[in-house]
A and B are shown apart, each in its own frame.
Chain A
Amino acid sequence: MSARNRELMALVPVALLLTAGFAAVFAQENAQLDNLSLTYGAYFFAVCLATHFYLRVRLPNADPYLFPLVALLMAFGLVMVYRIDASLARDQANWFVLGLVLFAATIHFLRDYDVLERYRYTIAVVGLLLLMAPRLPGIGQQVNGAYLGVKIGPLAFQPAEFSKICLVVFLASYLREHREVLIVGARRVLGVTLPPLKHFGPMLVVWGASMFMLVFIRDLGSSLMFFAAFLALLYVATGRFSFVVIGMAMFLVGAWFFAATVPHVHDRVEVWLNPYPHARGSGYQVLQSIFAQADGGLFGRGFGQSLITIPGTDNALLPAAQTDTIYSLIVNELGLFGACAVILTYLLIAARGFKIALLADDGFSKLLATGLTAVFAIQAFVIVGGVTRVIPLTGVTLPFISYGGSSIVANFVLLALLLLVSDRARREGAA
C-alpha cells in the first residue's frame, strides 16, 4: 500500500474515535445520544481528508503516520476541551483549522526548505525577539508570574511556541556547518573533552538565552525545553557526550543560582519538592493535579465524570484544566490506560520523527528533523512531568491536546517542516 493510502486508512479510526468521544460526553451531559456527535465527527473527518488530499498532491512520499497520530492527539484534545467548556472547544476547532492552513502554507512556501539555512541568523534574531516580546511594555502579559504572553490589539499569543522552531532551525544550520570543527578542535583538559573556545561562543549564547528566559521570562519550563533541545542537537551533531555533560552542568549551576535568587523560580522548585505546606497557595495546582490522578485509577471515572470546579462555586478544583493540567484530567477520566495511550501516541510521533532524521541524507535535514522531534517530545515531557511531579510544574502546553491557539498553530508548522524533510528523504530513498 502506498504511503498516502496508509495515511488515509489510519485517519478513519481516528475520526471514529472522535465521534465516539463526543457521543460519550453528550451521553454523560444530557443522558441521551445526540447526533451532533456524528456531525462533529463528520466535520473532523472532512478537515482531515482535505489535509490528506493536500499532502497526497504536495508531499506524496512524506511519512504516512505522523499526520494521523497528530489527528489522534487533536481528537483527544477536542473531546477533553469540549467536556470542560463547549465554547472553548469551538475556539479549539477554529485553531485546528487555522493550524492546518498554516501547515499547508508552510508546505507551499518552504518546499525547498534549504532556504532556511540562508536566513539562519535572521531566524535566530527573530526567535530571540519573540522570546523577549512578553517583557515589552504595552504588549507583554504576565500569566501566573511568568511572562509568556503577548497581546497586540485583539490578537494574543505565546511567542515561545514559535520561538522554539526558530531556535531549532538556527541550531540545525549552525551545527551542520560547525560540527566538524567542534569535533576536531576539541581538546582534552584534565580528562574532559572541551569544545574549541572560538566555536563555543554561539553555544554560550544559547546557554545565556536559556538563563535569560529563566530570569526575565521567569519560565523554568520553556527554559528547560529550549536548553534540552539544544543539548540533544549538540550531542547528535558532535557525538560528544562530554559536551552534553558540560552543558547540563552549566544549566544546573545557572538554574540553581537563579532558583536561589529569583523568588518566582525558587517558589516553583520549593513547591515541587515539598508541596504540602503550600497546599492552599502555590502548591494547590500541583497537589490538585496529583489528587485528580489518584482518583482516576486504572480505568478512570469516565468522560465527563471529573469535578473541575468546586460544585456550587466558580473556584477551580483542578486549576488550568484545559491547559497545564489537562493530562491530569485525562488520567482522572480515562485512567492510567488512557494516559498510557496518550504517552504512547507522543512516543510514536517521536519514533516517526527520529526515523525521518535517520532517513534524511544531508546534515541540515537530519539535524532539523532531530531538533524538531526532540523539542516536541521534550515539550510533552516537561508538562506531563510537571503535573506528575517528576520536575517542577511550569506553564507549557501539552502539544495538540491543550487548549491554546499559539501552541496548536506552532506545532502544525513544526509538523509541516518534519513532513517536508520526510518527503525529500523518502523520495531520494525511493529513487
Chain B
Amino acid sequence: MNRQIVKLFGLVVVLFAVLIGFTSYWSVFDAQALREKNANKRPLLEQQQIQRGRILAADGTVIAHSVAKGHGSGKRYVRRYPQGRLYGHPIGYSFVQYGNSEFERFHNDELVGNESEFSSILDQLRGRNQQGNDIVTNLDPAAQATALADLEEAGFGAVVAIEPQSGRVKVMASNPPYDPNRVPYEFSKLSTNEIERPLFDRATQGQYPPGSTFKVVTAAAGLESGTITPETPIDAPGSLEVEGTPLENDFGESFPGATLDTALTNSVNTWFGQLGQQLGEDTLFEYMEKFGFNSTPAIDLPSGEVYKSGVFDGEELLNANDPVDLARVAIGQERLAVTPLQMALVTAAVANKGKEMKPQIWSRVVDPDGRVTKRLEPSQYSQPISAKTAEELTTAMEGVVTEGTGTNAAIPGVPVAGKTGTAETPGNEACGGGEEENQAWFIGFAPADDPKIAIAATVECTEEFGNDVAAPIFRDVAETILNGE
C-alpha cells in the first residue's frame, strides 16, 4: 500500500499547487483587471477611507470636495458638489455605489494620492495616511454658467470653449445637465431616462451632423492642398445633380464665379460640393484626420467617454477607401457625425495659426501641503494647416459674421470669425420624429485678429437655424470670457 500512499501524497501536492496557482492568478496576475471590474466596489470603498482631493475651477471656486461622515472604523468620506449641476459635465461624479465618471475618473489616481506603489508603501511605513491632491481646472465659472443658462433656454445641446494657444478647456457644458449630488439617490432614474439622457455628455459624446460648419474643414483642405486659392472662382449653380439627387443652395440662389469669401459668407452648397469633388476623397480625409477626425480627442477624460468624429456606416467609421458621396461630405451631410469637442478643436486650430493643441481640462495638481506638483504644459496635437491658410480662412470666416449667415454672433467692438451650420434631421427619433427638426451650430473665435477663445455651440432638435439659436450662445459665452480677461 505504501506506493499508493506516496502517489496519493503526490496528488495532494498537485492539488495544493493548483490552489497556489489560482491564488497567484487572482492576487497578482489578474489583480489589475479585477480591480477595474464594475462589480468590484472594494477599491472605491478603500478610496473612501482616503480624503479625496478637491476639484477647483480656474478662479478657485470649489467644484468638488469630500466631507467626513461617521467616526471610528465607520469613518468615510463622501463627495459633495457645491456647484450642483453646473459642472455635472465634464467633472462627473465619484460615489462608491456608482463608481467614478468623466474627470473624476480620469484623474482618480491624483485625486486619491496614488503617486506610485512605492511611495504609498513608504507612507504606510511612516504611518502616514494617504491623502488626495487637489486639482485646479481651466474651467471658467462665469462662462460655464452662461453657456448652461443659454443652452437651457435654447434646447438640448452642448458648448465647448477652448483657449486656442494652450488647448485649455474653459467651458464644457451639456444640456440637459444633472446634479452629481443626486446620483446616489436617483441613479437609476438618471441613467434610464432615454429621452433626456442627462448622464450623457453631449460635448464629448454627442455625435451630430455638422452641417455647414464642416465647410471650414473642406475650405482648409482646399487651401492647404493648393487645390484653390482665395481667388479661385468656381461657378456655383442654384442646383447641382450629385449621385442622382440634386444638391441645392438656399432659395436656389446661384453664385457664378464665386470665390471662397463669397462661398463661405453665403454658405454656398454647390460651391463646396464641387470643391469636395475636386479635392478627392484621399485629400479630404487626409485633412479631416489631421484635424483629429477618426481619432479619440486627446482630452483628459476617460477614452470610453469621448467619442470619435467622422463618416459613419452605422457603428463603423469609414476611411478614404470606402465609397462616400464626396460632395455631400464636403458640406457636412452624408453620414458625417461629429462631436462638439471636435468642432471646437477645428475652430481652435484655425484660431491658433493652424496649430491644434491638445485640449486639457486640468491646469495644475496641488498636494495636501499646498505645493504644486504638476502643471499643465500645453502640447501640440497636430498642425493641419499653415499660418497662411489659417489667415485666409479667418478672413473668410469674418465675412460670415459681418455680412453673411452668422450675423447674430457679432460682438460690438470685437472682430469675430465664425461659421454657422444647420443640418436638417427630419424624422430624427431622438427629437421625437418631427419633420421640422434641425441640428443648429455655430463655431467661431474672437477676437479674430488676436484670438482668446474658440467656441463650438450646438443645439439639437430645434426648428431654428444656427444663426438664430447657436450664434447667440457663442456671442454670450465669448463675451463673458473676453470680459473676464
Contact = CB atoms under 8 A, between A and B. Distances in A.
Given A295-B42, A295-B43, A339-B27, A311 B48 contact: yes
Contacts of B15: 377, 381, 385
A310 B74 CA distance: 8
Nearest to B22: A388
Contacts of A136: none
B39 A287 contact: yes
B195 interface: no
Contact of A311 (B7, B39, B49): B49
Contacts, number: 139
A335 B16 contact: no
B370 interface: no
A92 interface: no
A310 B42 CA distance: 9
A181 interface: no
Interface string B86-130: 000000000010000000000000000000000000001000000
B12 A370 contact: no
A307 B74 CA distance: 10
A265 B454 CA distance: 63
B3 interface: yes
A232 interface: yes
Nearest to A298: B28
Interface string A257-298: 000000000000000000010011000000110111111111
Interface stretch (A49-57, A106-114, A248-256, A346-354): A346-354
A421 B42 CA distance: 47
Identify which of A291, A294, A296, A381 gathers the most chain B CB atoms within 10 Å of its CB. Answer: A294
Given A236-B4, A390-B19, A307 B26 contact: no
Given A346-B16, A347-B13, A339 B8 contact: no
A312 interface: yes
Contacts of A291: 34-35, 37, 39-40, 42
Contacts of A385: 15, 18-19, 22
B29 to A, nearest CB: 10
A419 to B, nearest CB: 18
Contacts of B185: none
A239 interface: yes
Contact of A295 (B35, B49, B75): B35
Given A312-B74, A343-B16, A390-B18, A236 B8 contact: yes
B23 A336 contact: yes
Contacts of A350: 9, 12, 16
Contact of A343 (B19, B30, B37): B19
Interface residues of A, number: 50
Interface string B34-63: 110101111101101100000000000000
Interface in A181-197: none
| Interface class of chain B by DSSP | helix
A409 interface: no
Contacts of A298: 27-28
A366 interface: yes
A357 B6 CA distance: 10
B31 interface: yes
B31 A354 contact: no
A374 B12 CA distance: 8
20 contacts: A235-B7, A276-B37, A287-B40, A288-B42, A290-B34, A291-B39, A293-B23, A295-B31, A295-B35, A295-B46, A302-B124, A307-B42, A311-B45, A311-B75, A312-B76, A340-B23, A343-B19, A370-B5, A374-B8, A388-B23
Interface of A: 232, 235-237, 239, 276, 279-280, 287-288, 290-298, 302, 307, 310-312, 317, 331, 335-336, 339-340, 343, 346-347, 350-351, 354, 357-358, 363, 366-367, 370, 374, 377, 381, 384-385, 388-390
Closest 4 CB pairs of A and B: A294-B34, A279-B39, A388-B22, A293-B26
Given A239-B4, A288-B42, 8 more contacts: A236-B8, A239-B3, A294-B35, A295-B46, A298-B27, A307-B49, A310-B96, A312-B76
